[in-house]
Chain A
Amino acid sequence: DAGVTQSPTHLIKTRGQHVTLRCSPISGHKSVSWYQQVLGQGPQFIFQYYEKEERGRGNFPDRFSARQFPNYSSELNVNALLLGDSALYLCASSSGLGGSYNEQFFGPGTRLTVL
């Protein structure tokens, strides 16, 4: 069975541009979460979606937005890119919320570099 997949693997953008990152969860998983990981630090929570509804939002500016589609895949959009947005963006899926259903499985990440 395929795990969590993310595209693209790497991305280089310039300041002020817009970027869209994509994630496909494990088959049967209904929750997708997005995390930002800056080099040398632990990941920071950005969004969580469950059954296509936003269930949580981290402390990120409104330039960050996301959505989940009927097939449970998800997009993360970042507008007006800043140098500080350079990071590894991780997508995780879980079968549900709470208890063992919340065990999260991660994709390989998208490495975003903003020049």
Chain B
Amino acid sequence: KQEVTQIPAALSVPEGENLVLNCSFTDSAIYNLQWFRQDPGKGLTSLLLIQSSQREQTSGRLNASLDKSSGRSTLYIAASQPGDSATYLCAVTPGSNYQLIWGAGTKLIIKP
């Protein structure tokens, strides 16, 4: 059974710092992995999608990497800003079906 874990559960850093969020999964047989952002009480915004054949994806100040063999993905945020404060969730699409399996998220606070 696929399980997704995100560590740490919460992170607080000063504005301007570069930071890394971690996501691990137990079964390497995945179609893809997605990173999402969720603002309090709101829906989910898709940030990056990495296909199983890819190693990384970049969008602006965000870079996501995928290492299937070790069951890990990282989301790198460069030059963090207070507007980056949100909960960041990762989700994998298993190889056996198309539903998303989620981590519990990392709550990120960027201090001005």
Contacts and interface: CB of A to CB of B under 8 A. Distances in A.
A49 B102 CA distance: 19
Interface stretch (A13-21, A65-73, A98-106): A98-106
Given A103-B34, A104-B34, A109-B43, A45 B51 contact: no
A48 B98 contact: yes
B99 A48 contact: yes
B70 interface: no
B100 A104 contact: yes
Majority-rule SS of B interface residues: strand
Given A104-B46, A105-B46, A106-B44, A42 B99 contact: no
Given A48-B98, A58-B99, A102-B31, A108 B46 contact: no
B86 interface: no
Nearest to B53: A99
A9 B51 CA distance: 32
Interface residues of A, number: 30
The range of chain B's interface size is 20 to 34
B4 A42 contact: yes
Given A33-B99, A42-B89, 12 more contacts: A48-B97, A56-B98, A56-B99, A58-B99, A97-B98, A98-B98, A99-B32, A102-B98, A103-B46, A104-B100, A108-B43, A111-B41
26 contacts: A6-B43, A40-B104, A42-B4, A42-B89, A42-B103, A43-B91, A45-B99, A45-B101, A48-B97, A48-B99, A55-B98, A56-B98, A88-B41, A92-B44, A98-B31, A99-B32, A100-B51, A102-B93, A102-B98, A103-B34, A104-B34, A106-B36, A106-B46, A107-B43, A108-B43, A111-B41
Interface of B: 4, 31-32, 34, 36, 41-46, 49, 51, 89, 91, 93, 97-105
